[in-house]
Amino acid sequence: MSLEEHNGADGAQERAMGVAGINTADWASDLWRRGCERLATELPEQQFNTWIRPLPPATVVGEGAGADAASALVATLKVPNHFKRDWIRRQYAARIEAILTELAGRPTRLELALSAREPQGIAVPGVLPPAVTAAAVATPAASAEPSAALRPVVQSVASPIVLPSQAPASAKHRINPQLTFDTLVPGRANQMARTAALHVAGAPGVTYNPLFIYGGVGLGKTHLIHSVGNALLKDRPDARVLYLHAEQFISDVVKNYQRKTFDELKAKYHSLDLLLIDDVQFFAGKDRTQEEFFNAFEALLAKKAHIIMTSDTYPKGLVDIDERLTSRFDAGLTVAIEPPELEMRVAILIKKAEAEGQPMPEDVAFFVAKNVRANVRELEGALRKVLAYAKFSHKEISITLAREALKDLLSIQNRQIGVENIQKTVADFYKIKVADMYSKKRPASIARPRQIAMYLAKELTQKSLPEIGELFGGRDHTTVLHAVRKIGGERQKNTELNQQLHVLEQTLKG
């Protein structure tokens, strides 16, 4: 069936067809954007932010060879690891499919892939043109050169990029002058990463190259790598420093691939003194990007330029990234940023309130920090609410005022978390049966999730050890105590476990 034959179809179908004047890349990204908007209204904010928001836009193609307008669509979402894939599949896939089906006006099947191919100009069978990938649609600004008016601004801030034909394509390239070591509050959670970053800023290209920083959302990875860029530029204003998000690199590769201008790409990236690249997990499945990044990586290391990367997981946890890259990612120094501890959260609130010219008393900072634990971005959101509330009500900042300003957030937090919910969530997460939470089975694959659930039950509910033991199949309170101590102790040393617990906590508090 030809495109023209479908021009009489309804609006959604017309757009699915990529009819004249409507760009299908825009259509796919628009579909995903609208789907996300809908999900954001349906899911608790924390769940949306944890699971859906970080995903790159879906790729959408017609299903099957010779697919026509009546056939289903396949929306492929790329997820960075097995862990997230399984979770999203269980918790959200059905709802995402239903929403996309409704918005697209055609049955839309969801696929969760650990890999996706880059657009290589190969026509995909069916009515839609070649698969529209996240790379092509996620950063529309990247496809356009900056306007003449913008260019000098970009260059004066990011100063190092001087190749006129490859001037930074969007503001994402800019080093943000606000994100410095001075404005980054230190704490146990970022101690290692901050120390390593300071070291690199002082002597780039010498040790810890590459520096690989990983951790969950909103914990300060971007802030930290900007700090290194700012520090180096302060010392050496002529240094060639580039910050960019991994998607921007993907986009540059696609653009240069289409224009066959790989020399320009090389000139741009291989000439840097410091490359700061955020969220490298987005390279998953993008072979051509990985190849170019590998080339840039080797060229930069060979001339002792420094590379700092961030990711949501450690190098070996990256999926669908060539092992020759992941092993190189790990060859310098790999450090984690953890969720901030209470004292650090308090210090962040006090410092940021001070910077806003509205000092926050310590007791109020403690109150807010105790109630907002997920990450620094959420902490900032809570702070903004409290400060705005104080300003507009012309009242002093107090605990009463903070409670009032944050009442929506607090009512969500105060929702009772039940032991049953913990058992179900943990069982889903580790793919065991809920019944195994009460069973006497002892293999490690079951016993460990059970201990984790006991630990979370103690941490997140008011239940006593004997009560928890009872709810876990009549176990003795000493068994629960052992689990609580064991998991709590391991959490301090085992970053991967700590991250898993953090995800579980966020989901349960959702």
Ligand X SMILES: Nc1ncnc2c1ncn2[C@@H]1O[C@H](COP(=O)(O)OP(=O)(O)OP(=O)(O)O)[C@@H](O)[C@H]1O
229 contacts: CB under 8 Å, gap ≥ 6:
175, 241, 243, 274, 276
String marking each residue 128-167 x if it binds ligand X according to CB under 6 A: ----------------------------------------
Q: How far apart are alpha carbons 29 and 142 in whole angstroms? A: 14
Interactions with ligand X, residue window 178-197 (CB under 6 A): 179, 183-185, 190
Of positions 223, 240, 458, 502, contacts ligand X by CB under 6 A: 223
Q: Is 213 helix (H, G, I), strand (E, B) or coil?
A: strand
Of positions 45, 86, 380, 428, contacts ligand X by CB under 6 A: 380
Q: Is 280 in the site for ligand X (CB under 6 A)?
A: no
Q: Is 314 helix (H, G, I), strand (E, B) or coil?
A: coil
Q: How far apart are alpha carbons 267 and 249 in whole angstroms? A: 14
Check the annotation: does 488 bind a ligand.
no
Residue 50's CB is within 10 A of a number of other CB atoms, namely 23
By beta-carbon proximity to ligand X, the closer residue of 24 and 49 is 49
By beta-carbon proximity to ligand X, the closer residue of 86 and 380 is 380
> Residue by residue, what is the 3-state secondary structure of 87-145?
HHHHHCHHHHHHHHHHHHCCCEEEEEECCCCCCCCCCCCCCCCCCCCHHHHCCHHHHCC
Of positions 16, 77, 79, 219, contacts ligand X by CB under 6 A: 219
222 is written with which tokens?
Answer: 């971007």
Least distance from C-beta 462 to ligand X, angstroms?
A: 31
Q: Is 56 in the site for ligand X (CB under 6 A)?
A: no
Least distance from C-beta 55 to ligand X, angstroms?
A: 12
By beta-carbon proximity to ligand X, the closer residue of 13 and 311 is 311
Q: Is 341 in the site for ligand X (CB under 6 A)?
A: no
Q: Is 179 helix (H, G, I), strand (E, B) or coil?
A: coil
Q: Is 471 in the site for ligand X (CB under 6 A)?
A: no
Q: Is 217 in the site for ligand X (CB under 6 A)?
A: yes
By beta-carbon proximity to ligand X, the closer residue of 245 and 268 is 245
How large is the C-alpha radius of gyration of the chain?
A: 25
Candidates 57-65, 214-222, 436-444, 483-491: pick the segment binding ligand X (CB under 6 A). Answer: 214-222
Q: How far apart are alpha carbons 395 and 397 in whole angstroms? A: 6
Check the annotation: does 221 bind a ligand.
yes
- The amino acid sitting at 36 is C
CB neighbour burial string for 261-286, b if at least 16 within 10 angstroms, e if fewer:
beebbeebbbbbbbbbbbbbbbbbbb
Check the annotation: does 303 bind a ligand.
no
Q: Is 372 in the site for ligand X (CB under 6 A)?
A: no
Residues in the annotated binding site: 218, 220-222
Residues contributing to the site for ligand X (CB under 6 A):
179, 183-185, 190, 215, 217-223, 348, 376-377, 380
